């Protein structure tokens, strides 16, 4: 029996960051930059007005006030998108819109609210100072500087900065492509009515959704029969498109545990009992020339999803180049709303419903109990040396994927 930390450490020491790939900036959302990115142009790219108003020589409006407005001729209109380089002579003004290029010579903008809004001549009712309401070229970003560093996660703001700086394609760590295979002669496809002895293949659907929830790209193969040849062929066929493979089922102590039988022969996948509940039987290793990581999760649905949270999600994040805290990742604190017992010597993952920070049991805790799993908000993580949790005790909880709608 090995500990949860030992199994996770072995996984995180094995998986590698996926080879970077060039993508359009919009397709790179949720990915991590694999390179420092340099601005191809300055921001702003030209000196422009920060407001709607009138471009002036500040010296011309010294002393302007509501009582003593300065009246100047309006010699032009400059809209945003005006691509002509204009010049403003002393003693004149031009109407100018937000984002429009400042005419040469002008050094300030008087906002329209401080004028009479005239279009032939304008009464300016407030003084201005040099640089007021003017955005200088390069004041946000200078051409040639590094705008985003390797390792940056790209969200809306980062993507906007890249695009605005003239960068349309970037090298990023791609989203991991994850093949999901469930195994077992008992499985029927979603939508089919299971006969006696059969069950719907809900595991591959669940794990496909879980892969999506961590920002990776799932390929759902679905149910494969308990036949060594079929399973091996399926695995080999899927390797070409997989950055990782997840299987469920067939890893326990049974006489027909095909996954264990097939992958034990290959020699690169190791099967362990991990001191956790649910989820004790775990396997992990690599397959093929590209050393594709393979996670063989237990077949009980609750065990499979808990295993995904504890082992697969951190591995997929690491493969995507995201910084991942060591175990435990992303815990939220809570308080036990009721007392319950925990199994000694194993890390227990208890399905709980969070009411603010109060955690109560979500229902039946059997590893096949989907009802309680679906009602739960989080997994309360009970360390191996704790056998009894009392009402009011502090808990660390791992939020279940998908609670935020992703």
Q: Which of residues 37-76 bind its own copies (CB under 8 A)?
A: 40-41, 43-46, 50-52
Q: Considering only residues 15, 106, 134, 153, which one is a binding residue for its own copies as defined by CB under 8 A?
A: 153
User: Which among 264, 347, 378 is positioned nearest to 7, based on CA atoms?
Assistant: 347
Residue 100 contacts its own copies per CB under 8 A: yes
User: Which among 320, 352, 373, 323 is positioned nearest to 214, based on CA atoms?
Assistant: 320
CB atoms under 10 Å from CB of 371, counted, come to 13
How far is 221 from 51, CA to CA, in rounded Å?
56
CB of 177 vs its own copies, minimal distance in Å: 16
List the interface residues with its own copies, window 167-186 (CB under 8 A).
Answer: 168-169, 184-186
CB of 204 vs its own copies, minimal distance in Å: 9
CB atoms under 10 Å from CB of 54, counted, come to 28
Cβ distance to its own copies smaller for residue 222 or 384: 222
Q: Compute CA 190 distance to the chain's CA centroid, rounded to the nearest angstrom.
A: 29
* Per-residue interface string for the shown chain with its own copies, residues 8-37, x marking contact by CB under 8 A: ----------------xxx--xx-------
Q: Considering only residues 5, 140, 393, 396, which one is a binding residue for its own copies as defined by CB under 8 A?
A: 140
* Per-residue interface string for the shown chain with its own copies, residues 239-278, x marking contact by CB under 8 A: -------------xxxxxx---------------------
Q: Of the ranges 8-16, 57-65, 148-156, 381-389, which one interacts with its own copies (CB under 8 A)?
A: 148-156
Cβ distance to its own copies smaller for residue 251 or 395: 251
Q: Considering only residues 92, 158, 238, 248, which one is a binding residue for its own copies as defined by CB under 8 A?
A: 158
Q: Considering only residues 205, 239, 266, 337, which one is a binding residue for its own copies as defined by CB under 8 A?
A: 205
Q: Considering only residues 101, 174, 293, 314, which one is a binding residue for its own copies as defined by CB under 8 A?
A: 101
Q: Considering only residues 12, 126, 200, 337, which one is a binding residue for its own copies as defined by CB under 8 A?
A: 200
Write the DSSP string, 84-152. Answer: ---B--TT-EEEE-TTPBPPBT--EEEEGGGB---SSEEEE-S---TTTTEEPTTSSB-TTSEEE-TT-
How far are the Cα atoms of 61, 78, 88, 150, 178 from residue 291, in angstroms, in the given order? 72, 61, 67, 25, 14
Tell me the backbone φ, ψ of residue 7, rounded to 5 degrees: -65, -45
Residue 80 contacts its own copies per CB under 8 A: yes
Q: Considering only residues 134, 187, 235, 244, which one is a binding residue for its own copies as defined by CB under 8 A?
A: 187
Kind plus residue range of the DSSP H or E element containing 335: strand 332-336
List the interface residues with its own copies, window 353-372 (CB under 8 A).
Answer: 364, 366, 368-371
How far are the Cα atoms of 207, 236, 275 from residue 292, in angstroms, in the given order? 18, 11, 25
User: Which among 37, 273, 328, 343 is positioned nearest to 161, based on CA atoms?
Assistant: 37
């Amino acid at each position: 029996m090995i500990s949860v930390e030992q199994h996770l450490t072995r996984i995180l020491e094995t998986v590698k960051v996926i080879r970077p790939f060039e993508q359009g900036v919009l397709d790179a959302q949720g990915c991590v930059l694999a390179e420092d990115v340099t601005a191809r142009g300055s921001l702003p790219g030209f000196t422009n007005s920060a407001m709607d108003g009138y471009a002036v020589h500040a010296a011309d409006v010294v002393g302007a006030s509501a009582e003593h407005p300065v009246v100047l001729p309006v010699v032009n209109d400059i809209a945003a998108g005006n691509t002509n380089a204009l010049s403003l002579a002393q003693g004149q003004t031009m109407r100018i819109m937000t984002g429009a290029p400042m005419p040469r010579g002008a050094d300030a903008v008087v906002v329209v609210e401080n004028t009479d809004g005239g279009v032939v001549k304008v009464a300016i009712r407030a003084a201005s100072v040099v640089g007021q309401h003017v955005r200088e070229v390069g004041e946000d970003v200078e051409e040639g500087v590094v705008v985003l560093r390797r390792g940056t996660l790209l969200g809306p703001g980062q993507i906007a900065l890249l695009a605005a700086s003239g960068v349309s394609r970037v090298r990023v760590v791609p989203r991991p492509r994850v093949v999901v295979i469930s195994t077992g002669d008992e499985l029927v496809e979603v939508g089919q009515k299971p006969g006696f002895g059969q069950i719907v293949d809900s595991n591959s659907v669940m794990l496909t959704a879980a892969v999506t929830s961590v920002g990776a790209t799932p390929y759902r193969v679905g149910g494969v029969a308990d036949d060594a040849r079929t399973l091996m062929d399926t695995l080999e066929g899927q390797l070409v498109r997989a950055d990782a493979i997840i299987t469920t089922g067939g890893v326990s102590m049974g006489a027909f545990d095909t996954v264990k039988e097939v992958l034990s022969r290959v020699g690169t996948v190791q099967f362990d009992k991990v001191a956790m509940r649910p989820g004790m039987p775990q396997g992990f290793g690599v397959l093929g020339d590209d050393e594709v990581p393979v996670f063989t999760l237990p077949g009980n649905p609750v065990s499979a999803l808990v295993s995904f949270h504890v082992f697969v999600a951190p591995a997929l994040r690491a493969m995507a180049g995201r910084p991942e805290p060591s175990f435990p990742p992303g815990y939220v604190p809570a308080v036990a709303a009721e007392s319950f017992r925990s199994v000694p010597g194993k890390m227990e993952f208890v399905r709980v419903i969070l009411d603010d920070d109060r955690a109560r049991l979500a229902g039946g805790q059997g590893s096949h109990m989907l009802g309680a799993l679906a009602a739960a908000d989080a997994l309360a993580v009970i360390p191996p040396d704790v056998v009894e949790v009392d009402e009011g005790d502090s808990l660390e909880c791992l939020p279940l994927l998908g609670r935020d709608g992703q």
